[in-house]
């Protein structure tokens, strides 16, 4: 054990001279209390200066010195043994971009495209066992709702309250959603990752294809889950009305799978039409899993028993010795 003993962060010992200087300064302050002897009547000294007795001052300085030394040693990270952990852990980043345009309230699929999208997203989050997940919403613009996180429960709660009414402008700007998803992945330092769009259409196909290609070049695949039907339906409004065009004709929001497939193809991803069951969610769970790891992860997958060793930092246990000294100092009134 002694042969392996060392400190992980020895630079913390540079604080020792600072601690010594600070203790000297405290001693000078406490020593200054004795200068009051010349100004206080001899008969009053036992009552006025009792709290600053020499013995108490010595105990205080000694306690502070020991506590400071222990703290510095703990920060320096004493270590003498190695521990091992599995070398491989899936680190796949996924950003889901959910369409909140007005057409998502169409009920050509039951109960509606929006509700179906919520269910699919929640199911996907429950099936996703590893990796971090982020959430983007989009319509005429795109916004990040949640950065990449392991806390899928938080995302699940947020999804329940999302709807077209939360968006400032309308449209289906898939291109902006992809760009926002890429930004989230880069902010979390993912060199590779996946983007899944849950949408019923594309406002600007050429821009969407260009954004998907650019995302793919950066290492992020773009897949799409289409919601809706080819026949489509009218877009319901308040009061039982439906959305109409300038000529007064009802607007039919239909699903254009051809355009969505083009975007997914440009992003080196997959396209799937939403189903009544969970086949679509399971499909994407498998597609967006650790299969698409980089070469380093692929090598590690071939040897699942591989372990990585690291020096165990015993400083955390040493810091427990500080507790009685801290209590003593607080009692002293520091």
Enumerate the domain spans of the chain.
2-81+312-332, 93-300
How far CA 197 is from CA of 105, 202, 266, in Å, comes to: 17, 11, 13
Please give the pLDDT value at position 281. Answer: 92
> Which pLDDT does position 174 carry in this prediction?
97
d(Cα 144, Cα 155) in Å, to the nearest integer? Answer: 11
What is the reported pLDDT for 177?
97
Contact criterion met (CB below 8 Å) for 130 and 92: yes
CB 207 within 8 A of CB 172: no
Say if CB 226 and CB 199 are below 8 A apart: yes
> Which pLDDT tens digits describe the chain residue by residue (334 residues)?
567 888 888 898 999 999 899 888 887 776 655 555 555 555 555 555 554 555 566 777 788 888 889 889 988 888 888 776 554 445 679 999 999 999 999 999 999 999 999 999 999 999 887 788 999 999 999 999 999 988 888 888 888 888 898 888 889 999 999 999 999 999 988 989 999 999 999 999 999 999 999 999 999 999 999 999 999 898 888 778 888 888 888 888 899 999 999 999 999 999 999 998 889 999 998 887 644 444 444 544 455 555 666 678 888 788 788 777 767 666 555 4
Q: What is the pLDDT of residue 264?
A: 97
- The strand pairing partners of 98, in sequence order, are 137, 198
Per-residue pLDDT at 185:
95
pLDDT single digits (tens) 72-123: 998 888 888 877 655 444 567 999 999 999 999 999 999 999 999 999 999 9
Given this model, what pLDDT does residue 152 score? 85
Q: Residue 328's pLDDT is what?
A: 66
Cβ within 8 Å of residue 88, ≥6 positions away: 297, 300, 301, 304, 306
Whole-prediction pTM value?
Answer: 0.62
Query: Residue 308: what pLDDT?
Result: 61
| Start-end of H helices in the chain | 15-31, 45-48, 54-76, 113-127, 152-159, 174-187, 205-217, 257-266, 279-287, 295-301, 315-318, 322-332
Decide which of 3.40.50.300, 3.20.20.140, 3.40.50.620, 3.40.50.410 is the CATH code for 93-300: 3.40.50.410
DSSP code per residue over 70-117: HHHHHHH-EE--EEEEES-----EEEEEEE-SGGGG--SSSS-HHHHH
Task: Count the neighbouring beta carbons within 10 Å of the beta carbon of residue 272.
Answer: 18
């Amino acid at each position: 054990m002694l042969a392996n003993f060392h400190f992980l962060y020895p630079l913390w010992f540079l604080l020792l001279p600072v601690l010594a200087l600070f203790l000297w300064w405290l001693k000078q302050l406490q020593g200054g209390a004795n200068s009051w002897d010349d100004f206080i009547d001899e008969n009053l000294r036992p009552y006025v200066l009792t709290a600053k007795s020499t013995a108490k001052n010595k105990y205080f300085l000694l306690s502070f010195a020991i506590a400071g030394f222990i703290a510095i040693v703990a920060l320096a990270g004493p270590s003498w043994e190695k521990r091992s952990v599995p070398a491989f852990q899936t680190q796949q980043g996924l950003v889901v971009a959910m369409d909140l345009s007005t057409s998502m309230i169409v009920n050509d699929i039951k109960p509606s495209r929006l509700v179906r999208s919520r269910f699919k997203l929640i199911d996907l989050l429950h099936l996703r066992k590893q990796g971090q997940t982020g959430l983007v919403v989009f319509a005429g613009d795109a916004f990040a709702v949640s950065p990449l996180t392991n806390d899928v429960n938080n995302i699940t709660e947020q999804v329940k309250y999302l709807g077209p009414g939360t968006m400032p402008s309308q449209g289906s700007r898939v291109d902006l959603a992809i760009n926002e998803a890429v930004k989230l992945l880069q902010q979390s330092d993912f060199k590779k990752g996946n983007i899944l769009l849950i949408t019923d259409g594309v406002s600007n196909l050429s821009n969407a294809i260009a954004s998907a290609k650019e995302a793919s070049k950066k290492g992020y695949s773009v897949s799409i889950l289409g919601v809706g039907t080819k026949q489509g339906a009218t877009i319901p409004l308040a009061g039982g009305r439906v959305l109409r065009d300038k000529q007064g004709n009802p607007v039919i929001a239909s699903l254009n799978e051809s355009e969505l497939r083009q975007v997914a193809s440009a992003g080196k991803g997959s396209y799937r039409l939403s189903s009544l069951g969970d086949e679509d969610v399971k499909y994407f769970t498998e597609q967006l899993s650790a299969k698409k790891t980089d070469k380093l992860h692929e090598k590690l997958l071939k040897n699942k028993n591989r372990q990585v060793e690291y020096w165990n930092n015993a400083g955390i246990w040493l810091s427990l010795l500080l507790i009685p000294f801290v209590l003593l100092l607080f009692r002293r009134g520091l």
